[in-house]
């Protein structure tokens, strides 16, 4: 992403400042923080601010959207987090696969606290878990799947959840849904690219054709055949040329008969985000 100004505008909207403040207030009541990351790019989707807010709390790391990521990378990432001493697991919140493990991890992470309470004679109250993460990683989808209710609004764009919402699960657990928060300035260009690919940052504020051509270069380098198979095209070193090929094959044309590069970019990014290009991991441990 070349145009610094364009890409740094507006990805820290007012509601994120408010959300951050809310999380800082609520953290006192919280027993465990469930941090959702995107399994395709766990490091890029880690917000250091969440680590700071949750500094003294037990933490469970969930690598969500694992169905869109490379199998091998998923396994390696869980190993990586375990060697870091974190409770970690992969999850596909849409198929509910692996949801049972969440309970085990929460219990594991809150064990000390529960034992401490018991010794002090404090009557067991529900465990309070804050579900946190950057925008669009699937926090609300996860909460709905885990609670088997559709209490939280979801959507495939950043900024769907605007305020806090507590969701009760029986008498043992309460989950706090939070709005996704980013950090004010994303300095690392590669990280910013990954966030743009997966839809963390609103498409209206990113230079979409540049993001799409960057993705083409990434795919041609790391996942040869992915674009060829999906669009029935030949690829070459000229990413913009490839983008136009994709546009031509998918009917993204302007009135005069030229390819609409912006529309082609949206098509490519949508396909990537929906797993139509296969299981693709952007970052490996
Ligand atoms: N393939 C796949 N898609 C998922 C998964 N979890 C969530 N999604 C999709 O990701 C999109 C974002 O989900 P949300 O639950 O709204 O994300 P969020 O983290 O609450 O987003 P904000 O509220 O904007 O911060 C939706 O289109 C979900 O259907 C998953 O495990 N796999
Ligand atoms: Mg949400």
Question: Tens digit of pLDDT for each residue in 76-104?
Answer: 999 999 998 888 999 999 987 788 899 99
CA-CA-CA-CA dihedral for 21, 24, 27, 33, to nearest 10 = 90
Residue span(s) of the chain under CATH 3.40.50.300 come to: 4-177
Cα 93 to Cα 16: distance, rounded to the nearest angstrom: 24
pLDDT at 223: 97
Output the pLDDT for position 12: 66
* Cα separation of the two ends of the chain: 24
Phi, psi of 282 (to 5 degrees): -90, -35
**Secondary structure percentages of the chain, helix, strand, coil, to 5:** 45, 15, 40
Query: Start-end ranges of CATH 1.10.1580.10 in the chain?
Result: 207-273
Cβ neighbours of residue 121 under 8 Å, at least 6 residues apart?
Answer: none
Q: Which atom of ligand 1 is nearest to the CA of 179?
A: 25
Q: Which residues of the chain have pLDDT under 70?
A: 1-12
Q: Look at residue 10 in the predicted model and tell me its pLDDT.
A: 52
Ligand 1 atom nearest residue 66's Cα: 31
Tens of pLDDT, residues 192-222: 999 999 999 888 888 999 999 999 999 999 9
Distance CA 56, CA 53 (A): 8
* Ligand 1 centroid – CA 273 distance (Å): 11
Task: Give the burial string for 169-204 (b: 16+ CB within 10 Å, else e).
Answer: beeebbbbbbbbbbeeebeeeebbbbbbbbbbbbbe
Q: Please tell us whether the domain made up of 4-177 is placed in CATH 3.40.50.300.
A: yes
Question: Ligand 1 pocket: which of 154, 162, 269 to mutate (most atoms <8 Å of CB)?
Answer: 154
Q: CB of 235 closer than 6 A to ligand 1?
A: no
CATH topology of domain 207-273: Conserved Hypothetical Protein Ylqf; Chain: A; domain 2 (1.10.1580)
């Amino acid at each position: 992403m070349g145009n610094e100004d364009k890409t740094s505008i507006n990805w820290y909207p007012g509601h994120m400042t408010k959300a951050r403040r809310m999380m800082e207030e609520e953290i006192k009541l919280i027993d465990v923080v469930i941090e959702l990351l995107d399994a395709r790019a766990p490091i890029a989707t880690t917000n250091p601010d969440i680590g700071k807010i949750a500094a003294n709390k037990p933490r469970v790391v969930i690598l969500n959207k694992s169905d869109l990521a490379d199998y091998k990378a998923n396994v390696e990432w869980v190993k990586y987090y375990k060697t870091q001493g974190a409770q970690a697991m992969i999850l596909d919140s849409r198929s509910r696969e692996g949801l049972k493990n969440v309970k085990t991890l929460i219990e594991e992470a809150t064990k000390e606290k529960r034992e401490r309470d018991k010794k002090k004679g404090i009557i067991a109250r529900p465990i309070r878990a804050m579900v946190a993460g950057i925008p669009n990683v699937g926090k609300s989808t996860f909460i709905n799947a885990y609670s088997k209710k559709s209490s939280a609004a979801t959507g495939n764009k950043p900024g769907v959840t605007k305020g806090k919402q507590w969701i009760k699960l029986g008498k043992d657990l309460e989950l706090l849904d939070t709005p996704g928060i980013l950090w004010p300035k994303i300095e690392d260009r590669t990280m910013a690219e990954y966030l743009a690919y997966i839809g963390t940052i609103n498409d209206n504020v990113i230079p979409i054709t540049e993001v799409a051509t960057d993705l083409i270069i990434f795919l041609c380098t790391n996942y040869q055949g992915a674009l060829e198979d999906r669009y029935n095209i030949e690829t070459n070193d000229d990413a913009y040329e490839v983008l136009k090929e994709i546009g031509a094959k998918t009917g993204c044309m302007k009135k005069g008969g030229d390819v609409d590069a912006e529309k082609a970019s949206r098509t490519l990014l949508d396909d990537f985000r929906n797993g139509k290009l296969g299981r693709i991991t952007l970052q490996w441990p």
